[in-house]
């Protein structure tokens, strides 16, 4: 069931609807690579590119080992032919047997060495791929994460790379070995006797054709399976994250049934995919037995007709069995390889994404000189043709507090998203200290913009490390002082290990107010010139709200601050209030001026406060202001 099909979608806030539209507009990113060979080549490059010398040495050692192995039946055949000769000496009989034994030892040593090298390359290849995937995701713009469900991304990092890992660990070395052996055995067979060689290899193209047919049938099923596993992972992540809502809404049975339905879908698709791919194994076994039978029959006839010696037929039997082994390996590894192709496609679909927000070739570092912000006739849309912001202009002078208010989905958070350049605007200009942000490096711009969100996010690390996260080069003394300023030092000291207390996921072992005070302290450590507060005092008790407000007031001192608020009491002391409706700033000015206009802001304010004082004015004396 898609997001738009869920009950109540029409009642979702406009901002959520826009996010879902963005996700729907480009769920999978750019076109996926369609060539299976291209996917395999790209996967192999992660093993080989940085270790070509090791890879070449391993190939040479593998080649030497396979030649040694193929010599065994050849020398055995020579020994049998010698045995049938009454005039042959004992030395003539023993020599090929001793050489065959030596060849067997060489094969054993080289095989162990080659397997060890290939195992090391496989591990390194997987590490490089995972590192490249994760690093590339860090370079992508916020729009990519908006349209990709977290569970889907986690599935690509875990499930899909696990399929690739199995391919690296199990398939690559064996497929290389299979290729070498097939080529070498066929060459040797034609050198020994071209007539029996034709009989022995006639089955090879049949097996390869079957492999191609199975791949053509199975690959779409494996691709569908990886996509369904991604959807299942997404649902699992969503339900686990929202377990409180599910428990409170008594939706456990619904969650279990939905999960079972999706899991059954994965099972059905996987069953079809694996069944189709595994069909090749019994087909290969049957064809191998048929191949052995044909070679034995034809060889026996040629021996009876004195066209061939018995030893040569016995050698060919060894060749046929050696040839059957790599063909069986290819059949056995079909499922692993197809899984890797399907998973690799999804991994490379992410890695082929390009950031939508990039630094210009001549971009410069932001030169801070106060924090003046100017929007000049700014238009913006998440999806082409659907404007979210239209003709927005305002000026925030250095050190001013700017309140932003308006109905849900009006575009308040979008103004902040383009100020921080998470997205590029369609038209107009955004200037900070007279510098167009499109000409600045993203890193230097965001170094000077601190953000405190309504939902405080803390990492699973110590309190101190969460504070140090804000700025490279920050000291523990600076972090402790910032915690004092944010009113967080007291409760941090009372934690079991103080600043060294390990926080659980998202800081769940702290109260909501404590988490918010830590994030305020973290913003202080960052020392930004511009500050963004998005409902930073909501959903806490009055006493905690007062502590948070005090910390925020200290944080905002001397900084240009933007405060997004639904409770208008929190921004009534702003130097300027931007009133946003349907993507446009419809009013702007101080609180008293906007109230005197009795326009849109006046209606919003009056709708929040029903109690009035003796003279008819709105009584907001009980509200805390930031």
Asked, colleague to colleague, whether 372-448+531-539+559-626 and 457-527 share their fold, the answer is yes
Of residues 333 and 525, more confidence is placed in 525
List, for residues 37-94, the tens digit of each pLDDT value: 888 888 888 888 888 889 899 989 988 988 888 888 877 777 777 776 666 666 776 8
pLDDT at 150 over 80: no
Q: Quick one: average pLDDT of 327-336? A: 76
Band of the pLDDT at 593, cuts 50, 70, 90?
A: very high
Q: Quick one: average pLDDT of 280-293? A: 75
CATH architecture of 27-351: Up-down Bundle (1.20)
H-only helix segments in 84-160: 90-139, 142-147, 150-155
Band of the pLDDT at 394, cuts 50, 70, 90?
A: very high
| pTM, full prediction | 0.70
- What is the maximum alpha-carbon separation in the chain? 132
Quick one: what percent of the chain has pLDDT higher than 90? 19
Band of the pLDDT at 10, cuts 50, 70, 90?
A: very low
pLDDT of residue 459: 86
pLDDT at 626 over 60: no
Q: Quick one: average pLDDT of 481-502? A: 90
pLDDT at 404 over 90: yes
pLDDT at 11 over 60: no
pLDDT at 196 over 80: yes
- Residue 317 Rama label (left phi>0; alpha psi -120 to 50; beta): alpha
Q: Quick one: average pLDDT of 513-532? A: 88
Band of the pLDDT at 109, cuts 50, 70, 90?
A: very high
List, for residues 96-105, the tens digit of each pLDDT value: 788 888 888 9
CB atoms within 10 A of CB 436: 12
pLDDT at 373 over 90: yes
If you write DSSP's letter for every residue of 232-277 in order, what string do you get?
HHHHHHHHHHTHHHHHHTT-HHHHHHHHHHHHHHHHHHHHHHHHHH
pLDDT of residue 277: 65
Band of the pLDDT at 586, cuts 50, 70, 90?
A: very high
pLDDT at 572 over 80: yes
Band of the pLDDT at 621, cuts 50, 70, 90?
A: very low
List, for residues 166-189, the tens digit of each pLDDT value: 888 888 888 888 888 888 888 888
Least confident range from 34-38, 295-299, 394-398, 512-516: namely 34-38
- Could you please state the CATH topology (level 3) that the domain comprising 372-448+531-539+559-626 is classified under: Rossmann fold (3.40.50)
What pairs with residue 395 in β-bridges? 374
Average per-residue pLDDT in the chain?
Answer: 80
Name the CATH code of domain 457-527 (choices 3.40.630.40, 3.40.50.300, 3.40.50.2300, 3.90.1330.10). Answer: 3.40.50.300
Q: Quick one: average pLDDT of 398-416? A: 90
* Sheet order of strands, 389-396 included: 389-396, 373-380, 427-432, 435-436
Are 62 and 385 in contact by the 8 Å Cβ rule? The answer is: no
Domain ranges of the chain: 27-351, 372-448+531-539+559-626, 457-527
Quick one: what percent of the chain has pLDDT higher than 70? 86
Q: What is the DSSP letter of 363?
A: -
Phi, psi of 55 (to 5 degrees): -65, -45
């Amino acid at each position: 069931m898609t997001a738009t099909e869920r009950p109540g979608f029409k009642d979702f806030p406009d901002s959520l609807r826009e996010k879902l539209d963005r996700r729907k507009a480009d769920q999978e990113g750019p076109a996926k690579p369609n060539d299976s060979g291209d996917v395999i080549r790209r996967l192999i490059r992660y093993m080989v590119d940085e270790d070509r010398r090791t890879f070449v040495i391993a190939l040479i050692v593998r080649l030497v080992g396979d030649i040694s192995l193929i010599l065994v039946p050849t020398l055995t055949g020579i020994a049998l032919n010698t045995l049938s000769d009454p005039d042959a000496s004992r030395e003539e009989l023993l020599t090929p047997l001793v050489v065959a034994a030596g060849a067997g030892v060489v094969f054993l040593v080289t095989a162990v060495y080659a397997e060890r090298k290939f195992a090391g390359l496989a591990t390194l290849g997987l590490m490089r791929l995972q590192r490249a995937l994760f690093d590339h995701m860090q370079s992508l713009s916020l729009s990519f994460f908006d349209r990709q469900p977290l569970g889907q991304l986690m599935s690509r990092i875990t499930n899909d790379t696990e399929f690739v890992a199995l391919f690296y660990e199990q398939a690559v070395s064996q497929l290389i070995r299979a290729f070498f052996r097939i080529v070498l055995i066929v060459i040797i067979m034609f050198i020994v006797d071209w007539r029996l060689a034709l009989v022995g290899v006639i089955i090879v193209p049949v097996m390869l054709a079957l492999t191609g047919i199975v791949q053509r049938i199975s690959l779409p099923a494996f691709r569908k399976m990886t996509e369904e596993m991604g959807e299942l992972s997404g649902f699992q992540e969503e339900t686990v994250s929202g377990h409180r809502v599910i428990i409170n809404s008594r939706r456990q049975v619904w969650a279990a049934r939905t999960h079972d339905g999706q899991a059954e879908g994965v099972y059905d698709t996987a069953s079809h995919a694996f069944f189709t791919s595994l069909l090749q194994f019994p087909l290969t076994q049957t064809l191998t037995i048929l191949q052995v039978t044909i070679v034995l029959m034809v060889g026996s006839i040629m021996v009876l007709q004195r066209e061939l010696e018995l030893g040569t037929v016995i050698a060919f039997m060894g060749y046929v069995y050696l040839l059957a082994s790599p063909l069986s390996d290819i059949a056995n590894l079909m499922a692993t390889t197809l899984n890797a192709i399907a998973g690799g496609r999804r991994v490379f679909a992410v890695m082929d994404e390009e950031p939508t927000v990039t630094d210009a070739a001549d971009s410069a570092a932001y030169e801070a000189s106060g924090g003046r912000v100017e929007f000049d006739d700014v238009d913006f849309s998440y999806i082409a043709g659907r404007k979210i912001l239209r003709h927005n202009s305002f000026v925030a002078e250095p050190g001013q507090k700017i309140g932003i208010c308006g109905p849900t989905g009006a575009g308040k958070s979008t103004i902040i998203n383009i100020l921080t350049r998470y997205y590029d605007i369609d038209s107009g200009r955004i200037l900070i200290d007279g510098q167009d942000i499109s000409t600045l490096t993203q890193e230097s711009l965001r170094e000077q913009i601190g953000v405190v969100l309504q939902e405080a996010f803390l990492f699973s690390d110590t309190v101190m490390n969460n504070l140090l996260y804000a700025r490279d080069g920050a000291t523990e003394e600076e972090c402790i002082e910032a915690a004092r300023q944010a009113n967080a030092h007291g409760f941090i000291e009372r934690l079991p290990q103080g600043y060294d207390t390990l926080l659980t996921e998202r800081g769940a072992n702290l109260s909501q107010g404590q988490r918010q005070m830590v994030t305020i302290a973290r913003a202080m450590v960052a020392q930004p010139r511009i500050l963004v507060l998005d409902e930073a005092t909501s959903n806490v008790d009055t006493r905690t709200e007062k502590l948070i407000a005090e910390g925020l007031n200290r944080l905002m001192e001397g900084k240009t601050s933007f405060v997004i608020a639904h409770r208008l009491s929190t921004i009534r002391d702003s130097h300027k209030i931007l009133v946003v409706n349907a993507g446009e700033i419809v009013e702007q000015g101080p609180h008293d001026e906007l109230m005197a206009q009795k326009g849109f802001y006046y209606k919003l304010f009056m709708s929040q406060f029903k109690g009035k004082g003796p003279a008819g004015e709105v009584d907001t004396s009980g509200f805390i202001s930031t």
